[in-house]
Structure 1
Amino acid sequence: MHKGKGMKFVGDSRIKADRQPNIPKDYSEYPGRTEAFWPNFLLKEWLVGAVFLVGFLVMTLAEPAPLEKMADPTDTTYIPLPDWYFLFLYQFLKYEFAGGNYVLIGAIVAPGLAFGALLLAPFLDKGSQRRPVKRPITTGIMLLAITSVIWLTYESVAEVDWETRTEQNKPVLQPEVEIDKESDGYAVFNKSCVSCHGDNLQGGVGPTLIGVDYSVEEIKKIAVEGTGDMPSGQFKGSDEELQQLAEFIVSVNEQADE
């Protein structure tokens, strides 16, 4: 409390009595050179981001990403590719200095330095100028990053025979069949085969059972003796259950053929 012309009361000694409200600075003296971060600059950023987001959504709806065939752990000839936005790193690991014995450099050290430089760019170049030519460090790092990503992505895409890859890995469409899950055959299937071949015979650890061209006797023989990666002795039921299982699988495939 101060005596004099009137009295001033301050509830907190850390707050000055003559503190002014937080009024944004007047940037009218610098037209086109600077502006208030909120809401002017931030609103422009949001609008640009929204335009790009809507554009990406439209592209994904108009041209959906193609799916390949179901993953097969026994296919050793299949070469997986990362998503397009990681193709430049995938290509980088192919070079001698970034792969093989030096894979740690290609996978961790080099990408870490590159992204670290982008993060440190604002701190390395603190100039007040907004023109790219006036900020050589920031501009140089950004141009180097963009050029590297575009070139490595192009190199990665150019090495892939996309037509052959698309044809070899074309997704196999499962025919629509109606599974009678109340039948005796499905009860046997659910007890003996569902863990490998899926609850709708669509496949899982084992291959799909829809679209197979086997007779009842052939299916019975496979269930008992095994085939390929399927070992013998997998079926533990009675002869009657084996017959029900084989007839059930055949009946499902008869629907698929119709």
Structure 2
Amino acid sequence: MKYVGDSRIPVRREKRLPKPYSEYPGKTEPFFPNFLLKEWMAAVVFLVGFMALVISHPAPLEPHAADPNDTTYTPMPDWYFLFLYQLLKYIPGSMIVLGTVIIPGIFSLLLLLAPWLDRSPERRPSRRPVATALMLFVVASIVVLTYQAVASHKAQQAEAAAATPPPPPPPAAEGAAFDPEQAFIASCASCHGQDLKGTPAAPSLVGLNLSVDEVVDIITNGRKGSMGVMPPGMFQGTDEQKKQLAEWVLSHQ
């Protein structure tokens, strides 16, 4: 008597184990330590380059802390939040939650879900048009918004400086000699810094390739530069005092 398909007979099934890496020569490698070691090496190279950039070009510090009594001071977020700072300017005040929570939350969620949403085995950007286009769009948007935020901040500083009346010259005793250093501190140091090395509101005055007459002309008529506009008449003094102030500035080159 023969039993066919007897359920009492156990079925022997082979376990589905992944093939060893030796079955794919030159096509794959173990995650640990091979792949992880490459990631560590790339991270070290990036960190060394980033630290070299920080040391050679230190982050500019604000001239002073936020002061509610100073109407010319415009606070700015850190550079990596400038694109969000600029994005909020394009969103109405009644929809502020859209720019502060919803839009950043959507992009963060898409970034977390990217491994599950894009499961294509292709890794060439040309063969992944959707993922590549989205990545380029996001990177370009961040760069453009960051640039617009910096340009807008400089324009606001220039408008605030132009709207602020120039400070009066320091009182001097009758018959006292004119002190260009005190005149610079009273009229110019708030923007250019007491060390003449500049602030986020105005450029450095160290290393100027200008003549005394050119500096006097800037003091008298102002100047428009890459960091904004210096309004005329920031220093109220005689022509001789302007010349002495220009000579004092150029003596610190």
Under a length normalisation based on structure 2, what TM-score does the superposition of the two structures give? 0.51
Q: CA shift at 1:133, angstroms?
A: 2.7
**Cross-structure match for 1:254:** none
Gaps of 5+ in 1: 1-18, 174-258
Question: Could you say which structure has the greater relative contact order, defined with CA pairs below 8 angstroms and 6 or more residues apart?
Answer: 2
Q: 1:153 to 1:28 in 2, by over 3 A?
A: farther
Q: CA shift at 1:30, angstroms?
A: 4.9
1:44 is paired with a residue of what secondary structure?
helix
8 Å CA contact 1:87–1:152 kept in 2: the answer is: yes
8 Å CA contact 1:92–1:152 kept in 2: the answer is: yes
Q: CA shift at 1:23, angstroms?
A: 10
Match of 1:131 among 124, 129, 138: 124
**Cross-structure match for 1:81:** 76
Give the whole-Å Cα distance in 1 for the aligned partners of 2:117 and 2:21: 29
Q: CA shift at 1:28, angstroms?
A: 6.5
Q: CA shift at 1:159, angstroms?
A: 2.3
Q: In terms of mean alpha carbon deviation, does 49-58 or 152-161 score higher?
A: 152-161
Gaps of 5+ in 2: 1-14, 162-188, 196-253
**Cross-structure match for 1:65:** 59
Q: 1:143 to 1:129 in 2, by over 3 A?
A: same
Q: 1:34 to 1:147 in 2, by over 3 A?
A: farther
Q: 1:67 to 1:24 in 2, by over 3 A?
A: farther
Q: CA shift at 1:126, angstroms?
A: 1.0
How many percent identity over aligned positions? 46
8 Å CA contact 1:121–1:141 kept in 2: the answer is: no
Query: Deviation string for 1:80-133 (max 9, x for gaps)?
Result: 1111111100110110xx241111101111111112112111110112222223
Q: CA shift at 1:134, angstroms?
A: 2.9
Q: 1:39 to 1:80 in 2, by over 3 A?
A: same
Give the whole-Å Cα distance in 2 for the aligned partners of 1:27 and 1:130: 23
1:78 is paired with a residue of what secondary structure?
coil
**Cross-structure match for 1:34:** 28
Q: Is the counterpart of residue 92 in structure 1 residue 87 in structure 2?
A: yes
8 Å CA contact 1:87–1:153 kept in 2: the answer is: yes
Q: CA shift at 1:63, angstroms?
A: 1.7
RMSD: 3.2
Match of 2:110 among 111, 117, 132: 117
Q: Is the counterpart of residue 152 in structure 1 residue 145 in structure 2?
A: yes
8 Å CA contact 1:118–1:141 kept in 2: the answer is: no
The number of equivalent residue pairs is 150
Greater C-alpha Rg: 1
Give the whole-Å Cα distance in 2 for the aligned partners of 1:139 and 1:43: 27
8 Å CA contact 1:121–1:137 kept in 2: the answer is: no
Q: CA shift at 1:46, angstroms?
A: 1.0
Q: 1:24 to 1:150 in 2, by over 3 A?
A: farther
